[in-house]
Amino acid sequence: MLSLLSRSFVTPARLGGIRCFSDIGSRFEAAQVKLNTLTEDPGNAAKLKIYGLFKQANVGSCNIPKPGGFNFVAKAKYDVWKGLGDMTQDQAKEEYIAFVAELAGSEEPAPAAAPAGTVAGLDVTTEAGVLTIRLNRPEKFNALTWEMYTGIADSLIAHAEDPSVKVAVLTGTGKWYCAGNDLSNFTKNMPAGGPQEMALNGKNVLNHFCDAMIKFPKPLIAAVNGPAIGIPVTTLGLCDLVYCTDNATFKTPFVSLGQSPEGCSSFIFPRTFGFAKANEMLLTERQITAQEACDGGLVTRIFSEDRFRDEVDKVVKHMASLPPQSMRISKGLIRHELNEKLLEVNARECEVLRERWLSDECMTAIMNFMNRKK
């Protein structure tokens, strides 16, 4: 748990072959053991304080030369030890014991992972700093229900400030990443307010979903394990890294369903592919390959299907091992100017979609599609 500065802060209870068996000595050793059971990193300021108190407790006042100005870690450790002045060794032990107790007492249990199966078709787990949101409707090609949209958004929001989560991954189960909207969203469970209420509810769900992706402050990775159609394609631009299998394909069939672009694709795609290629995807519905998506800048890297999971896991584990605040701050700087625009674009796209869902053109197109499927 203790890294960077801390590796040299916590030393064995023995020092110079002498071991103290007094009451304060026993409590001091117990505090060292307790320190190593902490599950959360207390931060470098706390670790520096621990180091200074430990040295003062075992050696007494600082007795080493001041390090050079460019040896930042050594100088920080020197300064905190030197700052304890003439504090006695017993006083230092008492302060060390009290400070470790304070750290241990301030620890709160890590938020529990959202239990798998809370939302049908969605598995959400956290492990080793990674939040994994897995679409799990392989029999329906992982198509998204309204409940799944909300479940994904709520999971991102719930873990945005969770210190145990360093990075989030969106992926699918089976051969497909996601077949987009489950069109039964529009044909089942018509609310009391009829199509008007259904369209408004759909708009709000979609707005909430995309806003959660835009606002998520930590690295968000899409692991595209197969073909993707519709919103799982358009929202790739809201992710920070996108990895896909070599058999993945990408298609946005909005026009044939009487609908319009979403996921901020009306803004992101022209700036990613250029207007000509973006228009070919969004207006003619041309399906593109993994290589085309990568060449166009929508996909970060392609892995062979047999190596995909292992290669993505390597990247994710590496990212989860990096300093989390540095990643968060860096992402914030990268997306600072963009996010306000994306929130505006998302609101506009969702309102247009609400109008499209109420149009005769859209309703006819969806019914025709459902009849063809039957």
Q: What is the CATH number of the domain that holds 32?
A: 1.20.80.10
Strand partners, 126: 131
pLDDT at 369: 78
| pLDDT at residue 43, as a whole number | 79
Model pLDDT, residue 252 = 97
Parent domain of 205: 122-373
The reply to whether 207 and 82 lie within a common domain is no
Does residue 112 contact residue 69 with C-beta atoms inside 8 Å?
no
Q: Which amino acid is at 19?
A: R
With cut-offs at 50, 70 and 90, classify the pLDDT of residue 373.
low
Greatest extent of the chain over all pairs of C-alpha atoms, in Å: 87
Range of weakest confidence among 12-26, 29-43, 134-148, 242-256:
12-26
**Neighbouring C-beta atoms of residue 63, cutoff 10 Å:** 9
Low-confidence winner among 9-13, 201-205, 237-241, 277-281 (lowest mean pLDDT):
9-13
Taking only the tens place, the pLDDT of each residue in 133-165 is 999 999 999 999 999 999 999 999 999 999 999
Q: Residue 15: inside a domain, yes or no?
A: yes
Q: Is residue 239 part of a domain?
A: yes
Shared domain check, 134 and 243: yes
* pLDDT score of 118: 77
Q: Are 32 and 13 contacting, i.e. CB atoms less than 8 angstroms apart?
A: yes
Tell me the residue type at 241.
L
- Is the same domain home to 27 and 162? no
Amino acid identity, residue 339?
N
Instruction: For residue 374, name the pLDDT band (cuts at 50, 70, 90).
Output: low
C-alpha 226/C-alpha 135 separation (Å) is: 12
Q: pLDDT tens digits for 37-67?
A: 877 778 788 888 999 999 999 999 999 998 8
Q: With 50 as the cut, is the pLDDT of residue 105 above it?
A: yes
Confidence band, pLDDT 50/70/90 cuts, at residue 69: low
Does the pLDDT value for residue 20 go beyond 80? no
Average pLDDT, the chain: 87
* Predicted local confidence at residue 2, as pLDDT: 37
CA proximity to 134, closest of 155, 112, 107: 155
Summarize the confidence of residues 183-203 as an average pLDDT: 83
Residue 158: which CATH number?
A: 3.90.226.10
Separation of CA 291 from chain center: 26
Q: Tokens 């968060």 belong to which residue?
A: 328
DSSP state of 261: -
- Among residues 54, 77, 106, the one where a domain terminates is 106
Question: What is the per-residue pLDDT for 194?
Answer: 87
> Looking at the domain assignment, is residue 94 inside a domain?
yes
**Which DSSP letter does residue 4 get?**
G
Count of domains forming the chain: 2
Judgement on whether residues 100 and 132 belong to the same structural domain of the protein: no
The CA-CA-CA angle for residues 75, 77, 82, to 5°, reads 90
Name residue, tokens 């409940």. 147
CA distance 360 to 141: 28
Q: Among 57, 76, 106, identify where a domain stops.
A: 106
Q: Report the share of the chain in percent with pLDDT over 70.
A: 89
**Rounded Cα gap, residues 183 and 324, in angstroms:** 39
Beta bridge partners of 224: 244
Pair (297, 335) in one structural domain:
yes
CA dihedral 85, 89, 90, 93 (to 10 degrees): 90
75 and 213 both lie in a single domain: no
**Residues 195 and 293 both lie in one domain:** yes
H-helix or E-strand containing 172? Answer: strand 167-172
- DSSP 8-state assignment for residue 192: T
Judge whether residue 232 has pLDDT over 90.
Answer: yes
Token pair of 247 as six digits: 């058999």
Per-residue pLDDT at 368: 83
Q: Residue 73 has what pLDDT?
A: 76
Which domain-ending residue is among 55, 76, 106?
Answer: 106
Element (H, E) at 251: strand 249-251
Which of 1 and 282 is assigned the larger pLDDT? 282
Q: Look at 190 and 153; give whichever has higher pLDDT.
A: 153
The confidence score (pLDDT) of residue 17 equals 37
Three-state SS letters, 148-217: HHHHHHHHHHHCCCCCCCCEEEEEECCCCCECCECHHHHCCCCCCCHHHHHHHHHHHHHHHHHHHHHHCC
On the question of pLDDT at 18 being above 60, the answer is: no
- Whether 309 has a pLDDT exceeding 70, the answer reads yes
Rounded Cα distance, 179 and 248, in Å: 12
Tell me the pLDDT band of 70, cut-offs 50, 70 and 90. low
